[in-house]
Amino acid sequence: MREAGKVAAIGADLGGTNIRLALVDPEGGVSEPYRYPTPPGGEAAAIVETLAQGIRVLQHQARAHGIRLAGCGLGVAGLVDGQAGLVYTAPNVAGFQNLPLKKLLEEKVDVPVTLENDANAAAFAEYWLGAGRGVSSLICLTLGTGIGSGIILEGKLLRGASGAAGEAGHMVVEAEGERCGCGARGCFEAYASATAILRDARAALARGEGTSLRELFGTRPEALSTKDVCDAARAGDPVARGILERAGRYLGVGLASLVNLLNPDLITLAGGLAAAGDLLLQPALAELERRAFAVLLCRTRVELSALADTAGMLGAAGLVLADGGHLWMPGR
């Protein structure tokens, strides 16, 4: 974001926990991102207003620096029909059901808005700017409140028959297992997401297990975060370590299904929970190795995303820039 007189896009990411926005230019330069908490409580109007405020701030910023806006790309953690500008459903963003989010936003801001599934956006970011530069096929798993995935095969984002494919978080890993936010049982995201980790941490506390989390939980139960669990685990808390190890093992189970089925060149782990790093990755890779065919696994790299929780925001902007013909990507 160093040069004026250039084109850029607003990248925005709407997750279950945070809303992130920044200006992104065709070279991958990024302005200092804004981050807001996602308004809780099922109020779509509050979320739309928060997004619109952020977009207006960045529009103003672009104007002040003489940057022309190609548009705003918005990644949403849910089932999205980009063509129709519709969010079908977003189980982890309360209140979104068949919401015409593009139209609602464009009534409030002066820039065209393109909706995209957040994990599709993150996958595009990996392919454009991240570990996926130069590969043919990759899957980006976004580990957060839920688990999303974007799938790029032979350089093309997989959209499926409905435009909303890539719901890796709702592959089944335990057929009669934990209830998932989607209503079904035993989904991958019911075992390896932030929601799963917090559920297990609360259950351990309710069972009276001895853990340093008790102090935090006693005074502000609703604020217990996966960062707290990770911090406790790094400080040696055995309960916290056990919870993360279990989530990591299930992450490995889901990875094994993806490697055996799709055998991409690369799987990257993005989203806020990727900050857990080795606490999740080590048990995940051990489990993956136990379950995936060696001849497939030896051709699939699995890595933490270097883009981490900005991947969705970067990719949403990148897709707008690519559609506008502003990106030059070798091999595409």
Nearest to 196 by CA among 275, 277, 273, 288: 273
Could you give the CA distance from residue 51 to residue 129 in angstroms, rounded to a whole number? Answer: 25
DSSP labels for 21-65?
A: EEEE-TT--BPPPEEEEPP-SS-HHHHHHHHHHHHHHHHHHHHHT
**Per rule CB under 8 A, is residue 166 in the interface with a second copy?**
yes
When binding is defined by CB under 8 A, the residue of 52, 172, 275, 308 that contacts a second copy is: 172
Q: Nearer Cβ to a second copy, position 9 or 168?
A: 168
Q: Nearer Cβ to a second copy, position 211 or 300?
A: 300
Could you give the CA distance from residue 18 to residue 47 in angstroms, rounded to a whole number? Answer: 11
**Per rule CB under 8 A, is residue 167 in the interface with a second copy?**
yes
Contact by Cβ (8 Å): 75, 14: yes
**Per rule CB under 8 A, is residue 260 in the interface with a second copy?**
yes
**Per rule CB under 8 A, is residue 162 in the interface with a second copy?**
yes
Helix, strand, or coil (residue 289): helix
Tokens representing 37 are 């908490």
Contact by Cβ (8 Å): 180, 230: no
Report in angstroms how near the CB of residue 288 gets to a second copy at its nearest. Answer: 11
Nearest to 152 by CA among 186, 117, 182, 127: 127
Report in angstroms how near the CB of residue 180 gets to a second copy at its nearest. Answer: 9
Could you give the CA distance from residue 282 to residue 59 in angstroms, rounded to a whole number? Answer: 42
Tokens 């060149």 found at = 265
Could you give the CA distance from residue 95 to residue 197 in angstroms, rounded to a whole number? Answer: 23
Tokens representing 293 are 């065919």
When binding is defined by CB under 8 A, the residue of 20, 102, 170, 241 that contacts a second copy is: 170
Report in angstroms how near the CB of residue 332 gets to a second copy at its nearest. Answer: 15
**Per rule CB under 8 A, is residue 290 in the interface with a second copy?**
yes
Estimate to the nearest angstrom the gap between the alpha carbon of 306 and the chain centroid. 13
Phi, psi angle pair for 149, to nearest 5° = -150, 145
Helix, strand, or coil (residue 175): coil
When binding is defined by CB under 8 A, the residue of 147, 216, 244, 253 that contacts a second copy is: 253
**Per rule CB under 8 A, is residue 137 in the interface with a second copy?**
yes
Report in angstroms how near the CB of residue 58 gets to a second copy at its nearest. Answer: 31
Report in angstroms how near the CB of residue 22 gets to a second copy at its nearest. Answer: 30
Site for a second copy (CB under 8 A): how many residues?
49
**Per rule CB under 8 A, is residue 300 in the interface with a second copy?**
yes
Report in angstroms how near the CB of residue 247 gets to a second copy at its nearest. Answer: 12
Contact by Cβ (8 Å): 148, 187: no
Considering only residues 77 through 96, tell me which ones interact with a second copy, judged by CB under 8 A: 79, 81, 88-89
Q: Nearer Cβ to a second copy, position 71 or 248?
A: 248
**Per rule CB under 8 A, is residue 63 in the interface with a second copy?**
no
**Per rule CB under 8 A, is residue 14 in the interface with a second copy?**
no
Residues of this chain that interact with a second copy (CB under 8 A) are 79, 81, 88-89, 136-137, 149, 151, 153-154, 156, 158, 160-162, 164-168, 170-175, 182, 184, 249-250, 253-254, 256-257, 260-265, 290-293, 295-296, 298-300
